[in-house]
Amino acid sequence: MSSKIKQLLTQKPEGQQVSVQGWVRTFRANRFIALNDGSTLANLQCVVDYENFDENLIRKITTGAAVKITGQYVESSGKGQASEIQVSELHLYGSADPETYPIQPKKHSFEFLREKAHLRVRTATFSAVMRVRAALSFAVHDFFRAEGFHYVHTPIITGSDAEGAGEMFRVSTIDPKNPPLNEEGNVNYKEDFFGKETHLTVSGQLEAETYAMGLGEVYTFGPTFRAENSNTTRHLAEFWMIEPEMAFYDLIDNMDLAEKFIKSVLRYVLVHCKEDLAFLDERFTKEEQSKPQAQRSAMGLLEKINFVVDNEFKRVSYTEAIDILRNSKPNKKKKFDYIIEEWGADLQSEHERFLVEKHFKTPVILFDYPAKIKAFYMRLNDDGKTVRAMDILFPGIGEIVGGSQREERLDILQERIKAMGIEEEELWWYLDLRKFGTAPHSGFGLGFERLVLFATGMGNIRDVIPFPRTPQNASF
């Protein structure tokens, strides 16, 4: 059995015989192979005495080649590493022609690497990001399991288009060239696969609510789809969402859980991804230095993560936030793209980021939003115009969590559904929850990639998911 480089680097080099397998990052002076196997950020130096090997073989050991290396694991006399392998056997699995292999040992732009998404994980930055992503994903399950939550798998294909979270992708097997038509001449979806119109889900929340009303505390963590044409650095057409849903939680319990959850998973990567985060911290600092002073982050990446873990999130009502924004400099000087004039305005990302980055300088939980700008299922407050919603806003990101206490009163829920112009019949099963053993409950949705963005300090959401899906782009 060959060793993982990560594990080997923890061993004392005493001349023991070892094997490793991986991809060549660089091969310097026909002598020094920097080998990476993905187990860790570090490359392992493998020293080749090229006279002992076939010339043709040596020529094929180029950046990107896959090899198995056997030799003695010894202390390194060179600078930059404590240990190395003195290579006795060199097996080439597959070469990588330097003329055509695109990932060469030089700086590639992220734009370029997005077009090589199938190979970009072989760079230090992307392998670090993807290891942090994997660790965060584990931390999510770890947290909820420890809290007594049950993981439920909500459907990806949905027959209800009432979630109200945005545009949806249609799921259909109808032949677009020859669709069955109804009497009005429209496509007859009764003849489609499911006998009705179906779409990819924008959220697992409604189904998760049904399970919370029996299992108590549940969460979903799965792919979510939005056909919104927003070409931003924070939106994907396919992303992963974590949605806990808890019976008997009010909005305050909900905020407490969300804050505890975010801190817990970030703490997990601080402990378990030290090397990768140190590397990403350096990358982040370099990138910030290339920006104009005014746009630079005041903190480094590790500093930012520690800051979030160590400080209480500031809780502010929507109404207070509107007052702050209305009286803010960028609003008065008309620097915002959307000027805040009245209570009731929907907050744009520029406003969210002003609150977090300039005004409070800490993560913010905004709550009690106007009913008009929020979904039908959020619990109406006694003032009759705000709902028990809460959004968590993060520096550099804007909204990372959207949640609420759910409306558990049947009559009020029905009124809200009507007011929003949604077909009640669509939601019969959801309304049943309010007819049979209804109970106060709450939940939230956290966009996993936005969390990964924050934890890795990357600037574009397309660079924290293996194969990003965005408008005009579904390659790979």
Binding site for ligand ATP (CB under 6 A): 165-166, 226, 235-236, 239, 241, 399-402, 445-447, 449-450
Distance CA 268, CA 311 (A): 16
Smallest gap from Cβ 172 to ligand ATP, in A, equals: 22
When the beta carbons of 69 and 242 are compared against ligand ATP, the nearer one is: 242
When the beta carbons of 69 and 202 are compared against ligand ATP, the nearer one is: 202
When the beta carbons of 374 and 434 are compared against ligand ATP, the nearer one is: 374
Q: In sequence order, what are the residues at sequence separation of 6 or more whose Cβ sits closer than 8 angstroms to the Cβ of residue 10?
A: none
Distance CA 459, CA 133 (A): 15
DSSP letter, residue 348: P
DSSP letter, residue 335: -
Distance CA 420, CA 65 (A): 58
Smallest gap from Cβ 74 to ligand ATP, in A, equals: 48
Number of H helices, E strands in the chain: 14, 16
Q: Which residues pair with 218 in a beta bridge?
A: 150, 245
Q: Could you tell me whether strands 83-94 and 66-75 are parallel, antiparallel, or unpaired per DSSP bridges?
A: antiparallel
CA-based radius of gyration for the chain: 26
When the beta carbons of 231 and 327 are compared against ligand ATP, the nearer one is: 231
Q: What are the φ/ψ torsions at residue 55 (nearest 5 degrees)?
A: -60, -40
Task: Judge whether 469 and 229 are in contact, CB under 8 Å.
Answer: no
When the beta carbons of 171 and 389 are compared against ligand ATP, the nearer one is: 389
Residues 362, 363, 367, CA angle at the centre, nearest 5°? 125
Amino acid residing at 295: Q
When the beta carbons of 71 and 398 are compared against ligand ATP, the nearer one is: 398
Q: What are the φ/ψ torsions at residue 113 (nearest 5 degrees)?
A: -70, -25
When the beta carbons of 192 and 399 are compared against ligand ATP, the nearer one is: 399
Smallest gap from Cβ 281 to ligand ATP, in A, equals: 23
Decide: helix, strand or coil at residue 166: coil
Smallest gap from Cβ 373 to ligand ATP, in A, equals: 10
Task: Judge whether 400 and 394 are in contact, CB under 8 Å.
Answer: yes
When the beta carbons of 402 and 440 are compared against ligand ATP, the nearer one is: 402
Decide: helix, strand or coil at residue 236: coil
When the beta carbons of 71 and 402 are compared against ligand ATP, the nearer one is: 402
Smallest gap from Cβ 242 to ligand ATP, in A, equals: 9
Task: Identify each DSSP E strand in 260-324 by its residue range.
Answer: 314-317
User: b vs e for 104-119, b when ≥16 Cβ sit within 10 Å of the residue's Cβ?
Assistant: eeeeeeeeebbeebee
Interaxial angle between packed helices 274-289 and 124-146, expressed in degrees from 0 to 180 and rounded to the nearest 10: 120
Smallest gap from Cβ 445 to ligand ATP, in A, equals: 4
How far does CA 181 lie from the centroid of its chain?
41
Among 96, 103, 122, which Cα is nearest to 37's? 122
Amino acid residing at 143: F
Smallest gap from Cβ 161 to ligand ATP, in A, equals: 14
Distance CA 243, CA 399 (A): 15
Smallest gap from Cβ 371 to ligand ATP, in A, equals: 15
When the beta carbons of 111 and 346 are compared against ligand ATP, the nearer one is: 346
Smallest gap from Cβ 149 to ligand ATP, in A, equals: 18
Smallest gap from Cβ 195 to ligand ATP, in A, equals: 28
DSSP letter, residue 358: I
Smallest gap from Cβ 367 to ligand ATP, in A, equals: 14
Among 368, 400, 367, 373, which Cα is nearest to 386's? 368
Smallest gap from Cβ 298 to ligand ATP, in A, equals: 23
